[in-house]
Structure 1
Amino acid sequence: MPHLPDDDAWLLEERRAIGDRIRVTRLRANRTQESVFLAARLSRSSYQAIEAGSADARISTLHKIACVLGVHVTDLLRG
């Protein structure tokens, strides 16, 4: 079984990477943050925190965002 790093820096880095992929995908889809969080039925603050990489997102939330953006959820998770 893989060993996780002792500090949470790796987790912050992963959150930011996912947020970056969401933002890039959103911009490629020519969507505003507002159009995405409304269509995904998320609050503005929750969506902005996910895209900024400052909050963890449930897989179900990422799935909603992916559906709105027209991509598979794995596209948001993999770099």
Structure 2
Amino acid sequence: MPRSVPPPDWVLTRRRVVGGQIRAARLRANLTQETVAARAGMDRATYNRIEQGHSSPLLDSLILIADAIGAELAELVRT
């Protein structure tokens, strides 16, 4: 069920930090968004929204992204 009230600003800020860490890990691995999205079983637009901090992914999606990049999950979500 979608939230009726948007999350507080500090949550959105931390979500963007996590997205930036995902992007940095992807770039260190020399991978494209398309490659990571395909490996994680999602479309590129969904992956892009996660990386930009516009979407709040499920834990399962974060695990799949970490595996697709070859990074530790903790590395991607540490704020």
TM-score range, shorter chain: 0.7 to 0.9
- Counterpart of 2:65, as a letter, is I
* CA deviation vs aligned residue, 1:15-70 (integer Å, no higher than 9, x gap): 10010000000000000000000111011211010000001011110000000111
- Counterpart of 1:36, as a letter, is V
**Equivalent residue number for residue 14 of structure 2:** 14
- Counterpart of 2:32, as a letter, is T
- In the alignment, the residues of structure 2 paired with residue 78 and residue 60 of structure 1 have an alpha-carbon distance, to the nearest angstrom, of 16
Q: Specify every segment of 5 or more residues in structure 2 that has no aligned partner in the other structure, as ranges.
A: 1-6
TM-score, normalised with respect to structure 1 = 0.88
- Counterpart of 2:36, as a letter, is V
TM-score, normalised with respect to structure 2 = 0.88
Number of equivalent positions = 73
**Equivalent residue number for residue 28 of structure 1:** 28
* 1:40 corresponds to 2:40: yes
- In the alignment, the residues of structure 2 paired with residue 12 and residue 26 of structure 1 have an alpha-carbon distance, to the nearest angstrom, of 21
The percent identity for this pair of structures is 38
Moved over 6 A (4+): none
Q: Specify every segment of 5 or more residues in structure 1 that has no aligned partner in the other structure, as ranges.
A: 1-6
Query: How far is 1:72 from its partner?
Result: 1.4
